Amino acid sequence: MRKSQLKKYAKLLVKAGLNVKKGQTVFVQAGLDQPEFVATVVEECYKAGAREVYVEWSYQPAEKLNALYMSQEDLSRLTPWGEAKWAYKAEKYACRLFIESEDPDGMKGVDVQKMSEARKALFPQVKKYRDLLENRHQWCIAAVPGAAWAKKVFPDLSEKRAIEKLWQAILYTSRADGKNPIAAWKEHNANLKKRCEYLNSLSLTALEYKSANGTDFKVWLNEDGVFAAGSEKTRGGRVFHPNIPSEEVFTSPKAGKAEGIVYSTKPLSYQGELIENFSVRFTGGKVTEVKAEKGEEQLKKMVAMDEGAAMLGECAIIPFDSPINNSGILFYNTLFDENASCHLALGKGFNECLKDYDKYSDEECKRRGINESMIHVDFMIGSRDMNITGVTASGERVAILKDGNWAF
């Protein structure tokens, strides 16, 4: 990939993604796959006025060895230096950039039960810091190609060709392959905001999903819920783009109020394993049955992680003709695959999907219907023939998605 284009992409992540301002602290989490690109990102952060930039390198094969050899007890312990880092990030409201490049199969073979128990035990130890950062810091998730990931997506190509191809796909779907990616993002963002405005003007109380594969599902929305998309704002008023790419218009539904069954339309890559051809049934707002041709055990463990893991945290609407879907590529990475089609997420909801959320504490947001959980896992249910109908307070029915695409 041309260096000049990668520089533009780095700038997009720093200026539009994080929106780094003068004097800020930045943490970049990255693998060892594209170190030159990561250095370019660091430089762009300083050019944007960052005071200090720290890269937290990770190497998946080494992490896998930890997962294999360390005891569950040790994996469950927040180390003193780990805690000090969290505390520093929270104190500085540090910007956090996550650059993904991992092998989707990279953790295959690790004890899933052990890892999920460790994650469960770690969660309360970092919650204090997460809560301090929530809605108060700028963050962004984006991706660069790793060799193993690229080979997984393009198995028939040489490693070099596969990486180049994945770069192209990442930049294309991130709208970063043109002359001015930042301007392209601005335009895309304005478009998404317009869709939100219309949806929010309807004051919907529920969404009904139907598609020929058997999906027949209704979910209720919060009284003061709002649809969101694209950029977000911290409580301090700083605008940032948490996901690049992002195509979704989403809301957090009322926790504990959903009925019916949904069928997956794409495999779900969860903790290094693929869950395929699955269905999730909701009764009284909670998952009461899951079935999967592949990975059913994993799926069952996922919804049992905590109370909120069996309830919905997100409903996202994406037209079937999205650039990611049109690319025809299965990325085996949620950041991309979740933007390919309509999805739901089990687990944690988003406070910012409530009107005036910044006036409420996290507890109050929960009371108003935002789900709470240690997980947030998206899974795809969008299809070419999916219809979504909105129901208003007066019982009026409004077409939202017709045959897979926007009805308005």
Which residues of this chain interact with Zn ion, rule CB under 5 A?
248, 316, 378
Q: For residues 40 and 334, which CB has a smaller minimum distance to Zn ion in the complex?
A: 334
What is the smallest separation between the CB atom of 360 and Zn ion, expressed in angstroms?
22
Q: For residues 145 and 313, which CB has a smaller minimum distance to Zn ion in the complex?
A: 313
Q: For residues 290 and 316, which CB has a smaller minimum distance to Zn ion in the complex?
A: 316
Q: For residues 220 and 379, which CB has a smaller minimum distance to Zn ion in the complex?
A: 379
Q: For residues 71 and 191, which CB has a smaller minimum distance to Zn ion in the complex?
A: 191
Tell me the C-alpha to C-alpha distance, in Å, between residue 300 and each of 174, 278, 289, 306.
Answer: 33, 11, 9, 12
Of 238, 223, 253, give the one whose Cα is nearest residue 388: 253
The residue at minimum Cβ distance from Zn ion is 316
- Retrieve residue 25's tokens: 């602290």
- Retrieve residue 275's tokens: 């869950």
What is the smallest separation between the CB atom of 104 and Zn ion, expressed in angstroms?
18
Q: For residues 215 and 251, which CB has a smaller minimum distance to Zn ion in the complex?
A: 251
What is the smallest separation between the CB atom of 338 and Zn ion, expressed in angstroms?
5
What is the smallest separation between the CB atom of 356 and Zn ion, expressed in angstroms?
22
Q: For residues 337 and 378, which CB has a smaller minimum distance to Zn ion in the complex?
A: 378
What is the smallest separation between the CB atom of 253 and Zn ion, expressed in angstroms?
12
What is the smallest separation between the CB atom of 303 and Zn ion, expressed in angstroms?
17
**Alpha-carbon gap, residue 151 to 165, rounded angstroms:** 10
What is the smallest separation between the CB atom of 314 and Zn ion, expressed in angstroms?
5
What is the smallest separation between the CB atom of 1 and Zn ion, expressed in angstroms?
27
Q: For residues 33 and 248, which CB has a smaller minimum distance to Zn ion in the complex?
A: 248
Q: What is the CA radius of gyration of the chain?
A: 20
- Retrieve residue 342's tokens: 């309509």
